[in-house]
Amino acid sequence: MTLEFWALLVALLVGLGLAIKPLGLYMAAIAEGRLPRALLRFETRLFRLAGVDSSQEMGWGAYARALLLFNFLGVLAVYALQRLQGWLPLDPQQFGAVGPRSAFNTAISFVTNTNWQGYAGESTMGNLVQMAGLAVQNFLSAATGIAVAFALIRGFARRSTATIGNFWVDVGRITTYVLLPISFVIALVMVSQGVPQTFQPDQTVGLIAPVSYSIPKTDAQGSPLQDAKGAPVMMTSQATTQTLPMGPVASQEAIKELGTNGGGFYNANSAHPYENPNALTNYLEIFTLLLISAALTYTFGRMVGDTRQGWALLAAMALMFVVAAGAEAHFEQQGNPLLTRQHVTQQATALQSGGNMEGKETRFGIAGSAIFTVAATGTSTGAVNSMFDSNMPLGGMVPMVLMQLGEVAPGGVGTGLYGMLMVALMAVFIGGLMIGRTPEYLGKKIESYQMKMVAIGLLISPLLVLLGTAIAAVVPAGLAGLANPGAHGFSEMLYAYTSASNNNGSAFAGLSANTPFYNLTLGLVMWFGRFVSIVAALAIAGSMASKKRLAVSSGTMPTHGALFVSLLIGTVLLIAGLTFLPALALGPIVEHLTLWGAR
Amino acid sequence: MFRIFRPALTLFLAFTVLTGLIYPLIVTGLAQVAFPWRANGSVIAVGGKPVGSTLIGQAFSAPQYFWSRPSATSPYPDNGLASGGSNLGPTNPALLDAVKARIAALRAADPGNTASIPVGLVTASGSGLDPDISLAAAEYQRDRVAHARHLSPQQVQALINREAHEPWLGVFGEPRVNVLALNLALDKLHVAHVD
């Protein structure tokens, strides 16, 4: 691994290390309603307008109902905005209405914090849909995830109560006091580095050297002509201009990372120079997308009255993250042996980053691409600054595995924390079985109801991934979308369902997913992957809140030391390893062996 | 059950206005005042005529210009409205074919050059709009450009050095040079030279 890799990794860990405590404390204050009195008075008036009594809390059932309704409303709104785009303002390029199945997929995708994109932004979505549809869900889906984390933390922190908070108050406060101010600052820094923020239409510039290219010749009706052998007839054309796609990009880019959403303004996402112009913005994007998930562990420790509990979760997350980053950089820096044989140099030198540069950008090199990749798939962001489909086989497997681990390194905003807490319950359960004691976590006894919910929450995603991939692999509509032959094609499908079910949104983008089959199946997988685990987490929150908190005794298994951290990581690896190893063997592993074995 | 609809609808509308309209509008307002050139796409003009953005790559194929990274955008390379990569997997025969064709084109334009080719020049970028090439890729092309323009390699190397972006503190970022800036500088130098 290169010096650039270590420098970026250390800078990232230091930056996050400094931010975790202040942001964690701030979010704890918001979760506990410790706000300046003037602010409380102001928001009480707003909440009253909405018919919400901000002092009245909800049980877990009411909390879940409010959450589901609010998110369902989001799906309707985003769907409607896309379908009506032709009649709505702020569509300077006149893209018109989006097709029904694509709109369905995109609506669910943004509401579930997945931001899987079957469409290409610069040629599909006008400014109104981008801002009032997609970017709004970037905020609200992130706030939903954090709200669930708040509710679950309260479940552990409280004793013998029936309520876990008020959903409307949580979502409102998270959006207004956490997401908006941070996004605002990040957006302005982004603009200062070259990310556009404008309502001007796209600009056309004249090229200093025209570009010649060949395209298939068409007849008067527009269908392609073929020669006697059935090959398309080509003709030469010339491009003398280039169109620069404009829009309010920076404001969307900021929340895209902060809310671990990942839906790009442009098709190429964070690989696009307008979304991510240089090494500084690249650092800032990686930092921002890890920020809240990392800080929530501190919020957790603070609220349950023992910050060591939060540090233990963070340590497990960080260890997995660092190992994955190292592996990713290693596999990509190795380069492609097929190219080495063509007299192409992939060596890292002072003059080039080297490595496998297909699908990567010069300004990020291997280090900036690999760490971004691991951060975006260790969280639920799914933004990409390089194209994973062109990664080396194992370089493509690392992001896949990070998602299959349940996205807990450190996971999406809120989802990472409640995912890790479910793993923690599983870990104390296994630990309890091994030493023959009733498992307990933070003084709460873990009983069969909680374990059932944990099992549902942890197993829904593997179920959807394997089922979806299996169906896609046998029906013609699934196989029709593949861009690459052989094992790599299987990886494309496995990646798509892994990404959808874990609400990540990144892709092996060669897969033609904007088809009825993929739009519908991936849409359903995203919806159930998101909300089944959310409801399970809320059920755990409700049942935990109603329990007594037992005092620590000599028989209590400590849940903050190195032993527990290894137990946590072991549990994560155990669940994912048992579930996904066979599927991975058919995709990236066999491709790796063919590539390096073929001498 | 009906009571739940009022907060849902009211808050949904309120947050749509706040995060979907007010937030981007305020950011736009401030951005247009504080960083107008950046906020509008970093467009550069020559003689008053816009010729491109410093951030968006352009394709070059003539020997007297530095060539950019290969671009997989359709229907022509570096199409600003169709960003994206090739998405060809590492074992896909189509990837190897594309690389071989690019090697052949580079060799044909510069028959005397037997150096091994830097990987960036034969692999498509992620965005299809990569504005940069590595310094290794620039130096590989230096003699060809110098020869086509009747300049000395030292003159061209001096331009590369002038336009080069070295990593900050030697480790943050990658060694690179902006192709459009480099080619515009070449044209300027060339005009001066002919005069």
Residues B58 and B20 placed together within one structural domain of the fold: no
Residue A238, number of CB atoms within 10 A of its CB: 10
List the one residue out of A184, A275, A129 whose CA is nearest residue B27. A184
Residues B71 and B1 placed together within one structural domain of the fold: no
Closest by Cβ to B87, choosing from A133, A357, A510: A510
DSSP letter at A228 equals T
Residues B101 and B59 placed together within one structural domain of the fold: yes
pTM: 0.96
DSSP A273-295: TTTS-SHHHHHHHHHHHHHHHHH
Contact by Cβ (8 Å): A547, A530: no
Residues B82 and B173 placed together within one structural domain of the fold: yes
pLDDT, one tens digit per residue, over A393-423 is 999 999 999 999 999 999 999 999 999 999 9
3-state secondary structure A293-326: HHHHHHHHHHHCCCHHHHHHHHHHHHHHHHHHHH
Residues B121 and B28 placed together within one structural domain of the fold: no
Percent of chain A with pLDDT over 70: 100
* Secondary structure class of A200 (helix, strand, coil): coil
Residues A237 and A283 placed together within one structural domain of the fold: no
Confidence of residue A221 (pLDDT cuts 50, 70, 90): confident
CA pair distance A593, A394, nearest whole angstrom: 10
Residues B17 and B112 placed together within one structural domain of the fold: no
Instruction: Note if the bond before A337 is cis, omega within 30 degrees.
Output: no
Residue type for A78, please? V
Section A338-362 average pLDDT: 95
The angle subtended at Cα A158 by Cα A154 and Cα A164, nearest 5°, is 45
Q: Is residue A523 part of a domain?
A: no
- Rounded to a whole number of angstroms, the distance from the CA of A571 to the nearest CA of chain B is 32
Q: Give the Å distances, CA to CA, from A543 to A152, A301, A536, B177.
A: 10, 20, 11, 59
Q: Where in the sequence is the domain holding B55, given as residue range(s)? A: 43-194
pLDDT, one tens digit per residue, over A145-171 is 999 999 999 999 999 999 999 999 999
Chain A neighbors of B135, CB-CB under 8 A:
350-352
**Mean pLDDT estimate for chain A:** 93
Rg of chain A (C-alpha set):
24
Residues A227 and A143 placed together within one structural domain of the fold: no
* Secondary structure class of A238 (helix, strand, coil): strand
Note the helical H segments in A112-230: 127-128, 136-157, 167-173, 180-192
Residues A20 and A79 placed together within one structural domain of the fold: yes
Beta strands B43-46 and B49-53, pairing class? antiparallel
- Rounded to a whole number of angstroms, the distance from the CA of A349 to the nearest CA of chain B is 9
Residues B53 and B31 placed together within one structural domain of the fold: no
Residues B36 and B98 placed together within one structural domain of the fold: no
Chain B neighbors of A200, CB-CB under 8 A:
40
Q: For residue B193, what pLDDT is reported?
A: 58
Q: Is residue A406 part of a domain?
A: no
DSSP B115-135: SPEEGGGTS--SSS---EEEH
* Secondary structure class of A195 (helix, strand, coil): coil
Residues A218 and A81 placed together within one structural domain of the fold: no
Are B183 and A390 within 8 A, CB to CB? no
Q: Is residue A179 part of a domain?
A: yes
Q: Is residue A193 part of a domain?
A: yes
Spatial neighbors of A397 by CB under 8 A, at least 6 apart, are A491, A584, A587, A588, A589, A592
Residue type for A226, please? Q
Residues A209 and A294 placed together within one structural domain of the fold: no
Confidence of residue A218 (pLDDT cuts 50, 70, 90): confident
Residues B33 and B72 placed together within one structural domain of the fold: no
Q: Is residue A227 part of a domain?
A: yes
List the one residue out of A45, A117, A112, A58 whose CA is nearest residue A414. A112
Among chain B residues, CA nearest to A336: B90
Q: Is residue A98 part of a domain?
A: yes
pLDDT, one tens digit per residue, over A96-122 is 889 999 999 999 999 999 999 888 777
- Rounded to a whole number of angstroms, the distance from the CA of A334 to the nearest CA of chain B is 12
Note the helical H segments in A2-99: 3-31, 37-49, 60-83
List the one residue out of B46, B45, B27 whose CA is nearest residue B37. B45
Q: For residue A422, what pLDDT is reported?
A: 97
Residues B60 and B149 placed together within one structural domain of the fold: yes
CA pair distance A310, A420, nearest whole angstrom: 11
Residues B96 and B17 placed together within one structural domain of the fold: no
Q: For residue A244, what pLDDT is reported?
A: 96
Residues A137 and A36 placed together within one structural domain of the fold: yes
Spatial neighbors of A440 by CB under 8 A, at least 6 apart, are A428, A432, A446, A550, A556, A557
Q: Is residue A510 part of a domain?
A: no
CA pair distance A189, A206, nearest whole angstrom: 29
Residues A129 and A236 placed together within one structural domain of the fold: no
Domains held by chain B: number: 2
A223 touches chain B (CB under 8 A): no
Domains held by chain A: number: 2
Q: Give the Å distances, CA to CA, from B15 to A60, A175, A326, A552.
A: 24, 8, 40, 44
CA pair distance A587, B185, nearest whole angstrom: 47
- Enter the tokens of residue A20: 């975790």
CA A49 distance to own-chain centroid: 34
Residues A240 and A271 placed together within one structural domain of the fold: no
Q: For residue A294, what pLDDT is reported?
A: 97
Residues A36 and A112 placed together within one structural domain of the fold: yes
Contact by Cβ (8 Å): A82, A98: yes
Residue A573, number of CB atoms within 10 A of its CB: 13
DSSP A448-517: HHHHHHHHHHHHHHHHHHHHHHHHHHHSHHHHTT--S-THHHHHHHHHHHHHHHTT-----TTS---SHH
Give backbone dihedrals phi and psi of A425, rounded to 5 degrees, phi first: -65, -40
Residues A28 and A41 placed together within one structural domain of the fold: yes
Q: For residue B195, what pLDDT is reported?
A: 47
Residues B69 and B32 placed together within one structural domain of the fold: no
Residues A188 and A277 placed together within one structural domain of the fold: yes
Q: For residue B41, what pLDDT is reported?
A: 96
pLDDT, one tens digit per residue, over A64-98 is 999 999 999 999 999 999 999 888 887 777 788 89
List the one residue out of B131, B114, B116, B113 whose CA is nearest residue B174. B131
Spatial neighbors of A537 by CB under 8 A, at least 6 apart, are A148, A151, A152, A418, A421, A422, A453, A457
CA pair distance B147, B62, nearest whole angstrom: 12
pLDDT, one tens digit per residue, over A528-563 is 999 999 999 999 999 999 999 888 887 788 899 999
Q: For residue A13, what pLDDT is reported?
A: 97
Give backbone dihedrals phi and psi of A224, rounded to 5 degrees, phi first: -65, 140
Confidence of residue A126 (pLDDT cuts 50, 70, 90): confident
Q: For residue A598, what pLDDT is reported?
A: 67
- Rounded to a whole number of angstroms, the distance from the CA of A597 to the nearest CA of chain B is 12
Kindly give the confidence (pLDDT) of every residue in chain B, 195 residues in length, as a single tens digit, with 9 standing for 90 and above. 668 899 999 999 999 999 999 999 999 999 999 999 999 999 999 989 999 999 999 999 999 999 999 999 999 999 999 999 999 999 999 999 999 999 999 999 999 999 999 999 999 999 999 999 999 999 999 999 999 999 999 999 999 999 999 998 888 999 999 999 999 999 998 666 554
Residues A147 and A233 placed together within one structural domain of the fold: no
Q: Where in the sequence is the domain holding A90, given as residue range(s)? A: 12-199+250-300
CA pair distance A497, A521, nearest whole angstrom: 9
Are A122 and B65 within 8 A, CB to CB? no
Section A460-480 average pLDDT: 95
List the one residue out of A217, A222, A212, A213 whose CA is nearest residue A232. A217
Residue linked to tokens 């690019």: B102
A342 touches chain B (CB under 8 A): yes
Are A274 and B130 within 8 A, CB to CB? no
Chain B neighbors of A355, CB-CB under 8 A:
119
Residue type for A82, please? Q
